[in-house]
Amino acid sequence: MSTAVAAVTSRTHGWSAVWGVLLILFGLLAVALPLATSFGVVLVVGWMLVFSSAAQILHAFQSKGVGHIAWKVLVGVLYLGVGIYFLNNPMLGVAGFSFSRKG
């Protein structure tokens, strides 16, 4: 049993070191290129909003009561609109993120 654990540990140790080095490099790139990092974050958040809007709208129809369904569909449509806005206007999304974090 201990040899199996040792074999798995030795294999995963190498990958942990690789991931550590990659994360350090990506962190340095994020600090060195803040505009590109912000642009990438807005695109990722935009896609996350689009996919979560689909899940929200699908989940709305599993709810009970007209008020709950309407509210969840409204939130899903809002997510979809904001996600599409971020994907179509990423620089305005960067400005929006910056202004929302200021204060």
Q: For residue range 36-70, what is the model confidence (pLDDT) as tens digits?
A: 998 999 999 999 999 999 999 998 888 787 778 88
Sequence ranges of the domains in the chain: 1-32, 33-103
* Sign of CA pseudo-dihedral 14, 20, 21, 23: positive
CA pair distance 24, 13, nearest whole angstrom: 17
38 token code pair: 């912000």
Q: pLDDT averaged over the chain?
A: 86
Question: Taking the CB of residue 38, how many other CB atoms lie within 10 A of it?
Answer: 18
pTM above 0.95, yes or no: no
Please name which of 97, 103, 99, 101 lies closest in space to residue 41, comparing C-alpha atoms. Answer: 97
The residue type at 13:
H
Query: Can you give the pLDDT at residue 22?
Result: 94
